[in-house]
Amino acid sequence: MNTLSITLNGASVDANVEERTSIADFVRDGRNLTGTHLACEHGVCGACTILVDGAPVRGCITFAAALEGRDVKTIEAFADDPLMEIIRESFSAAHGLQCGFCTPGMLLTARDIILRDRARSPEEIRQELSGNICRCTGYAGIVAAVQLAAERARRAGAPQ
Ligand code: FES
Ligand code: FES
């Protein structure tokens, strides 16, 4: 058992964690932050994407104990985020989801892509999104949604 102190969605969290507890299990089971989804559980599909110090990571293969002192954000932290609001609306408008299981990871990755200005063409978006797998929608709607969100964010001068 390890002690862990992190900032989770803006709040300080102190906890005891088993050495092999992933941060995805920690936030889901320990904190009821169930927007972080688990599918493959070996780092392939991106459903478990979270941000650590602002960068996307695979929550299923990142040990919670390795994140001592770090800033961790799950999808729940972005309810009022202006850029995420644009992305959510664009996923809805462009039919970027069906069952929604992959969607939290897609949204967090899309936000990162837009912030890095790597959503300038469908080809670039496909490359940047290649670590996120969707089992039901197909990717045309998802790529269109990210492209639409990037255009809307540019027009709105959304805080990036
Ligand atoms: S559940 Fe983590 S990458 Fe698939
Ligand atoms: S919308 Fe169902 S897995 Fe992507």
44 C-beta closer than 6 A to ligand 1 = yes
Could you tell me the strand order of the sheet in which 2-8 lies? 11-17, 2-8, 71-73, 49-52, 55-58
CA distance 112 to 55: 8
Q: Which ligand is nearest to the CA of 37?
A: 1
**What tens digit of pLDDT does each residue of 41-84 get?**
999 999 999 999 999 999 999 999 999 999 999 999 999 999 99
Report the helix count and the strand count for the chain, using DSSP H and E.
6, 5
Considering only CA atoms, give the Rg of the chain: 16
CA atoms within 13 A on the CB side of 116: 14
Compute the average pLDDT of residues 18-37. 96
Sequence-distant (≥ 6) Cβ neighbours of residue 64 within 8 angstroms: 4, 6, 17, 21, 22, 23, 25, 26
Assess contact for 43 and 61: CB atoms under 8 A: yes
Give me the pLDDT at residue 83, please.
Answer: 97
pLDDT value at 10 more than 60: yes
Give me the pLDDT at residue 159, please.
Answer: 55
Give me the pLDDT at residue 1, please.
Answer: 86
Give the distance (Å) from ligand 2 centre to CA of residue 102: 5
Model pTM score: 0.95
Give the distance (Å) from ligand 2 centre to CA of residue 104: 10
Q: Whose CA is nearest to atom 4 of ligand 2?
A: 134
Give the distance (Å) from ligand 2 centre to CA of residue 133: 8
Give the distance (Å) from ligand 1 centre to CA of residue 61: 8
Give me the pLDDT at residue 35, please.
Answer: 98
Percent of the chain clearing pLDDT 70 (strictly above): 98
State which amino acid sits at residue 46: G
Give the distance (Å) from ligand 1 centre to CA of residue 120: 26
Q: Whose CA is nearest to atom 3 of ligand 1?
A: 43
Ligand 2, CB within 6 Å, residue ranges? 97-103, 134-137
